[in-house]
């Protein structure tokens, strides 16, 4: 069993709803922050598709912030 499978098993065992009459359910959004951060770290290490999606989103977020940063930086340089 690889690290990702082992981590999934731990999360399911620890946090999943386990009703007797239905299958298990784990809402990822309800995980504690530290578990979610660890899950993302493990997935980025073992799942290239996940890593590519996360890095692409981070890159887009940073690029969308750059114009505002440049404007503020120029304004404060001119004000000094």
Contact 4, 48 (CB under 8 A): no
| pTM summary value | 0.69
In the chain, the number of structural domains is: 1
Band of residue 75 on the pLDDT scale cut at 50, 70, 90: confident
Q: What's residue 80's pLDDT?
A: 66
C-alpha to C-alpha distances, 10 to 3, 34, 41, 47, 64, nearest whole angstrom: 11, 14, 15, 18, 37
Domain range enclosing 30: 3-79
Contact 43, 50 (CB under 8 A): yes
Band of residue 1 on the pLDDT scale cut at 50, 70, 90: low
Helices marked H in the chain — which ranges?
Answer: 3-15, 33-46, 48-79
Contact 9, 52 (CB under 8 A): no
List pLDDT tens digits, range 7-47. Answer: 999 999 999 999 888 899 999 999 999 999 999 999 999 99
């Amino acid at each position: 069993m690889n690290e990702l499978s082992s981590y999934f098993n731990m999360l399911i065992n620890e946090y999943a709803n386990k009703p007797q009459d239905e299958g298990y359910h784990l809402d990822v959004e309800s995980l504690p922050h530290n578990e979610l951060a660890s899950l993302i770290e493990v997935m980025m290490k073992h799942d290239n598709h996940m890593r590519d999606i996360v890095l692409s989103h981070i890159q887009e977020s940073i690029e969308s912030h750059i114009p505002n940063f440049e404007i503020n930086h120029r304004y404060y340089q001119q004000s000094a």
